[in-house]
Chain A
Amino acid sequence: DAKTTQPNSMESNEEEPVHLPCNHSTISGTDYIHWYRQLPSQGPEYVIHGLTSNVNNRMASLAIAEDRKSSTLILHRATLRDAAVYYCILVTSGTYKYIFGTGTRLKVLA
């Protein structure tokens, strides 16, 4: 079973920021938090990952709660091309398999 819970769907207006939440209350100290997204008819695509500190890259930002029981993926300016299913995945150091949940389907409105 997936170790994360996410809302099934969210909507955003184009050019506005989007905050995608993820709860992972059973996270352990060696779990990394990975975010992937899946565009229509494509394989999952890496977005960002972190362990304890907030992270930024060219695609997004990852805000991790101080107790690490939740995190938020932030898309600073949503575009139509960001419409996808976003997955929050915990990856335990020493293991390799991703356990996907149902993810959040993001709809971006023009």
Chain B
Amino acid sequence: EAGVTQFPSHSVIEKGQTVTLRCDPISGHDNLYWYRRVMGKEIKFLLHFVKESKQDESGMPNNRFLAERTGGTYSTLKVQPAELEDSGVYFCASSRPRSVASYEQYFGPGTRLTVT
């Protein structure tokens, strides 16, 4: 089966601009997660979708970040306007339905975002 894919692999934008990251989960995976690693820090959870519904968005840093998952398939993460501290690698992951604690999450390769 195809893995989690993310687009673009790398994005360079100027401060104040808008960027949209896309994630395509593994087919059939109802659960979709966004994480990010900013420079020198650990990987941090951002939010979790179950199908098209936001289950947990406690990790979203502020209202400049907007995540959507229309139709419960792919997801987008928009940053508007981007700030320098948003630079980092954004990972998407997906997992099967049902008991998520016992199921692994499959991660994409990440999108490296550089804000100049």
Give the interface of A toward B (CB within 8 A).
Answer: 2, 30, 32, 34, 36, 41-46, 49, 51, 91-102
Question: How far apart sit A85 and B109, CA to CA, in the bound complex (Å)?
Answer: 15
Interchain residue pairs with CB less than 8 A apart (6): A43-B107, A49-B104, A93-B99, A96-B55, A97-B48, A97-B58
B62 in contact (CB, < 8 A): no
Tell me whether A32 and B101 are in contact in the complex, defined as CB-CB below 8 angstroms, given that A43-B91, A43-B110, A46-B106 are known contacts: yes
A99 is contacted by which of B45, B91, B93, B105 (Cβ under 8 Å)? B45
Interface residues as binary, B58-71 with A (CB distance below 8 Å gives 1, 0 otherwise): 11000000000000
Q: Which residues of B contact A94 (CB under 8 A)?
A: 101
CB within 8 Å of A: which B85-116 residues: 91, 93, 99-102, 104-110
B7 in contact (CB, < 8 A): no
Apart from A46-B104, A97-B56, what 15 extra A-B contacts exist at CB < 8 Å?
A: A32-B102, A34-B104, A36-B107, A45-B107, A46-B105, A49-B102, A91-B100, A93-B101, A96-B48, A96-B56, A97-B48, A97-B58, A99-B45, A100-B35, A100-B42
